[in-house]
């Protein structure tokens, strides 16, 4: 499948590498077409890995991953262009972390609590099918659910049921996720984005990002 990835940081390249490894065709996008990290990333990936601008990557993909940093996502998506996102599944895994008020980070007030980054992206790009998922764990775990022992959960939410079904199938087939909890419409992103302040503290306690949440009933 042709997949566009927005963002050349650790999350974007980790997702991209996994998808190329699985045989998908991936274009990774950034602000400029000659982004050094993107050019470095494609080097050993073969013909199925390409790079371009945000707009190039979104135009290329059938599914788009938003792997830009949360505070910059809306601007990056504006550069991407609504026309390149229309009708497509936009998997949003960014978190609106606010590093301006010290560590560990808080959340950007205008993107949390009574709204969320996922919701604001959906509002700004109404023709995209935004699915929020993967944002509650480290990137190594995102693409490899067996990275921690035992059962654990991933959350999915979004307004388009068909898009969510598609994303659930991808999470299962490509990333090995077995237990997927559907939180309903995109407002569920408020819940999953707001567990980041606990996540960063658990990271401190565990001295490792290699953990995940399990809902026990």
Tell me, rounded to whole angstroms, the distance of Cα 15 from its chain centroid.
9
What are the structure tokens assigned to 142, written together? 């995102």
C-alpha distances out from residue 128 to 58, 87, 122, 124, 153, Å: 11, 5, 7, 9, 26
Query: Applying CB under 8 A, does 190 fall inside the site for a second copy?
Result: yes
Nearest to 35 by CA among 95, 78, 79, 85: 79
**d(C-alpha 186, C-alpha 89), whole Å:** 13
Q: Which of 43, 44, 47, 217 binds a second copy (CB under 8 A)?
A: 217
Residues 116-155 that bind a second copy (CB under 8 A): 148-152, 155
Query: Applying CB under 8 A, does 191 fall inside the site for a second copy?
Result: yes
Query: Applying CB under 8 A, does 178 fall inside the site for a second copy?
Result: no
Indicate the residue among 82 and 194 with the shorter CB distance to a second copy.
194
Query: Applying CB under 8 A, does 79 fall inside the site for a second copy?
Result: no
Indicate the residue among 107 and 143 with the shorter CB distance to a second copy.
107
Q: Where are the alpha helices (DSSP H) in 61-151?
A: 73-80, 82-85, 117-124, 139-142
Query: Applying CB under 8 A, does 215 fall inside the site for a second copy?
Result: yes
Contact residues for a second copy (CB under 8 A)?
101, 106-107, 109, 112-114, 148-152, 155, 181-184, 188, 190-192, 194-195, 197-202, 204-206, 208, 210-217
């Amino acid at each position: 499948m042709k997949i566009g990835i927005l963002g050349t940081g650790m999350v974007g390249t980790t997702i991209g590498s996994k998808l190329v490894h699985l045989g998908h065709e991936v274009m990774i996008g950034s602000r400029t077409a000659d982004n050094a990290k993107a050019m470095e990333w494609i080097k050993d990936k073969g013909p199925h890995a390409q790079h371009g601008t945000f707009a190039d990557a979104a135009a290329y993909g059938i599914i788009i991953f938003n792997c830009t940093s949360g505070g910059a996502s809306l601007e990056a998506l504006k550069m991407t262009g609504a026309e390149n996102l229309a009708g497509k599944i936009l998997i949003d895994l960014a978190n609106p972390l606010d590093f301006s008020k010290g560590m560990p980070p808080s959340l950007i007030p205008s993107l949390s609590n009574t709204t969320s980054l996922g919701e604001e992206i959906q509002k700004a790009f109404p023709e995209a099918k935004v699915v929020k998922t993967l944002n509650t764990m480290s990137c190594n775990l995102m693409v490899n659910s067996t990275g921690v022992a035992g059962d654990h959960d991933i959350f999915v939410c979004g307004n388009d049921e068909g898009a969510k079904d598609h994303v659930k199938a991808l999470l299962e087939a490509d990333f090995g996720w077995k237990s997927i909890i559907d939180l309903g419409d995109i407002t569920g992103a408020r819940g999953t984005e707001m567990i980041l302040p606990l996540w960063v503290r658990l990271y401190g306690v565990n001295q490792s990002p290699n953990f995940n949440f399990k809902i026990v009933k």
